[in-house]
Amino acid sequence: MGAVSTAAESRVPLAERSPEELRTFLSGQRDAYAALVGRGLSLDLTRGKPSAEQLDLSAALLSLPDGHRDGAGTDVRNYGGLEGLPELREMFAELLGVDSEQIVAGGNASLTMMHEVLVYHLLHGGVDSPRPWKDEEKVTFICPVPGYDRHYTMLESYGIHMVTVPMLPDGPDVAAVEAIVRDDPSVKGMWIVPTYANPAGSVVTQEVAARLAAMPAAAPDFRLFWDNAYALHHLTEDEAKSADIVSLAASAGHPHRPVVFASTSKITFAGAGVAFLAGSRETVRWYLGHLKFASIGPDKVNQLRHVQFFGSPDGVRAHMARHRDILAPKFAAVDAALTAELAGLGVAEWTRPRGGYFVSLDVPDGCASRVVQLAKEAGIALTPAGASFPHGTDPRDRNIRLAPSFPVLAEVETAMAGVATCVALAAAEQLAGDEGVVG
């Protein structure tokens, strides 16, 4: 997790102001908001999508591959190769810190692989499952919050119970996780985005990862769904190194506990990338053993173009440095706008992530929905309040996920200045007990 801004400049926190001073501040924010609405903006910070400028970095993919045979001479236009091209698996095995025999290269969406793994466990059970999960009386997953909404909606679609733990700067609250899994055999899994987590920017430390790998679990087939979507998405030259959960789990006697996922969706083309699954050799065989009934092989033509485009793991790293050059100024603009308008008021805290695609903004309890509403009415689309929590409900109604990647820099600057105005207005309304109609 990046540093959290709590700078107390010369401003007096709103909660410490006199009623008259608060009314004056509220009046000024209403005027500022009315001016914001009057601009007729139409800006979108809802999803962490690559911008057109980022997609252009991979334009050369459209003229590849050169030829149609891989390094072993296999014709990639034909069926087969369910585990993916060896060259691509070797490349990303090095980047993800696993052996090439422990990784599968698939289609364009790691979310699809996650869904397959979940469904295979439900229908058939895992490598070390005593029975299919569907035959259990109850299936429970641990969900660090704030977290990735699609993880939670996937579980919800299958009626899987969700319990939450806080996401801390060094990863999920591991003591809370240990207590939950120790005695409850219904707890079968846990979602984790271990590197630059969505949306908090947290990075799971080696120490926390080691505890997650080794902790006793009442369910013998407890799984860590290790979604390393942002492992290579650094925003600074201080690059976080992902914990080697596969080796840690193997050393702790739980080799099948982690299933690792990653993709090039935000590296090359979001709609035409390559997804990866990694784990123990037995996990890989288990996955392919079920996948073979649904597929005769992935898009190896697309995999070959990725091999030729990157050339090597260092080619991937160089490509990601170009992404960083585009993204870093946008994240700096988020911090600058929030600092300029909100620092010292005591009404907001936000992350300064070192990587990933999101900034996590916390406003006073009970204010997030109002901020999102105000922003919408001013033409600034934000992710719904509560989206980063199971069932879309933040019990404190305070967290907002900001996604600055897609708009151009000038639009990010404009949108975030507007968001800051909405935060200040919503907080002042709450303190004054006066939520009026503005705009």
Give the β-pairing of 258-263 and 187-192.
unpaired
User: What is the per-residue pLDDT for 295?
Assistant: 96
Between CA 182 and CA 101 the distance in angstroms is 32
Tell whether domain 80-312 is in CATH 3.40.640.10: yes
Q: Is-contact 273 264, C-beta < 8 A?
A: yes
Q: Is-contact 129 286, C-beta < 8 A?
A: no
User: What is the per-residue pLDDT for 10?
Assistant: 55
User: What is the per-residue pLDDT for 165?
Assistant: 98
User: What is the per-residue pLDDT for 131?
Assistant: 98
Token digits for 239?
């690059």
User: What is the per-residue pLDDT for 434?
Assistant: 76
Residues 6+ apart with CB under 8 A from 38: none
Q: In b/e form, how buried is each residue of 119-135, taking b as 16+ CB within 10 angstroms?
A: ebbbeebbbbbeeebee
**pTM of this structure:** 0.94
Between CA 140 and CA 162 the distance in angstroms is 6
Between CA 49 and CA 46 the distance in angstroms is 9
User: What is the per-residue pLDDT for 436?
Assistant: 55
Q: Cβ–Cβ contacts within 10 Å for residue 41, how many?
A: 16
Residues 6+ apart with CB under 8 A from 127: 221, 256, 280, 282, 283, 286
**Model confidence pLDDT, tens digit, residues 77-104:** 999 999 999 999 999 999 999 999 999 9
Domains of the chain, by residue range, sit at 3-55+317-432, 80-312
Residues 6+ apart with CB under 8 A from 15: 346, 431
Cα angle at 266 between 261 and 268, to 5 degrees?
Answer: 110
Give the β-pairing of 359-362 and 349-352.
antiparallel
User: What is the per-residue pLDDT for 5?
Assistant: 44
Q: In b/e form, how buried is each residue of 407-431, taking b as 16+ CB within 10 angstroms?
A: bebebbbbbbbbbbbbbbbbbbbbb
CA 244 to chain centroid: 18
Q: Is-contact 395 312, C-beta < 8 A?
A: no
Between CA 416 and CA 345 the distance in angstroms is 17
Residues 6+ apart with CB under 8 A from 259: 117, 223, 224, 225, 226, 277, 278, 279, 283
User: What is the per-residue pLDDT for 47?
Assistant: 87
To the nearest 10°, the Cα dihedral for 378, 379, 385, 390? Answer: 170
Q: How many CA atoms lie within 13 A of 302 on its CB side?
A: 19
Place of tokens 């440095």: 321
Token digits for 261?
């996922």
Q: What parts of the chain have a pLDDT lower than 70?
A: 1-10, 435-439
Q: Domain 3-55+317-432 carries which CATH code?
A: 3.90.1150.10
- Residue 393, CA distances (Å) to 153, 164, 219, 396, 400 in order: 12, 12, 28, 9, 12
Place of tokens 């910070």: 45
- C-alpha closest to that of 372 among 44, 130, 152: 44
